[in-house]
Amino acid sequence: MMTAPPTMPIDDVVADLAALRRRTPLVHCLTNDVVKNVTANVLLAAGAAPAMIEDPGEAAEFARVADALLVNLGTLTEPQAEAINAAVPAAHDAGTPWVLDPVAVGAVTFRTQVAHELLAAAPTVVRGNASEILALARAGGGGRGVESIADSSDAVGVAVELARTTGGVVAVSGTVDYVTDGDVTYAVPGGHPLLTRMTGAGCALGALVAAATAASGSPLRGAVTASTLVAAAAELAARECGGPGSFAVALLDA
């Protein structure tokens, strides 16, 4: 039986969150149309600064000056793919950390092809649900649209191997989140089921991973800090809300 991964010391999480709020990292978000407002507001609430620069002519230039880049494939289009393909090499050349959120990878051909091409570009962090991580590693067929049909614990071993292959960090979201760099794996328990009843919670988490990675200088710690923050905020929000609508507002406040 596999030993359960440890949690990261809470003092490290607190220190990284303080660094995020002190440094106010600028996160360049190439993200999907459904979640832009939620993503921007979550970044602002956490102490980061969002920017949504999607024009292919500007994306590369902005990726060089941002503190972190988020690539989210949720509503992928050809023009957005063009912007992504401009921004990622520019981020790499500038040493800008970047996060790949392969939303619904495995479900349809175009996004799956783009996701695998981006994986070859060595993202700093890959963040997705269990089905997405399994599909990205070619160990599963993907979920039902954006919904995972696998438990996060099912993807831990695959995530470890994927991290070793890419040389980056892989974060698997679920009932328990798991974050690994291929050598060290942390568990992040907590959260609340209402996170699955609002649009954009997972996508906003990807942006927070980018922000926390930029602030801490450590992709592993940044991903754990972002997951811990969302889990704790969700628990607080669930105590006060009356349902999914008020939960989304309470999550921002928390």
> Which tens digit of pLDDT belongs to each residue from 196-215?
999 999 999 999 999 999 99
The whole-number pLDDT of residue 141 equals: 52
Determine phi and psi for 242, rounding to 5 degrees. -105, 0
pLDDT tens digits for 98-141? 999 999 898 889 999 999 999 999 999 999 999 999 999 987 55
Q: Is the pTM of this model over 0.75?
A: yes
Q: Where are the beta strands (DSSP E) in 139-189?
A: 169-173, 177-180, 185-188
Rounded-to-integer distance, Cα 9 and Cα 15, Å:
10
Cβ neighbourhood burial of 155 (10 Å; 0-12, 13-18, 19+) = buried
Rounded-to-integer distance, Cα 177 and Cα 151, Å:
10
Q: Which whole number is the average pLDDT over 155-176? A: 96
Rounded-to-integer distance, Cα 207 and Cα 222, Å:
11
CB atoms inside a 10 Å sphere around CB 161: 15
Is the predicted pLDDT of residue 146 greater than 50, yes or no? no
The whole-number pLDDT of residue 145 equals: 47
CA distances from 110 to 48, 106, 141, 180 (A): 32, 9, 14, 27
Is the predicted pLDDT of residue 47 greater than 50, yes or no? yes
Q: Which whole number is the average pLDDT over 65-80? A: 96
Rounded-to-integer distance, Cα 122 and Cα 92, Å:
9
Average pLDDT, the chain: 93
Residue 135, sorted as left (phi over 0), alpha (psi -120 to 50) or beta, turns out to be alpha
Rounded-to-integer distance, Cα 253 and Cα 237, Å:
8
The whole-number pLDDT of residue 85 equals: 96
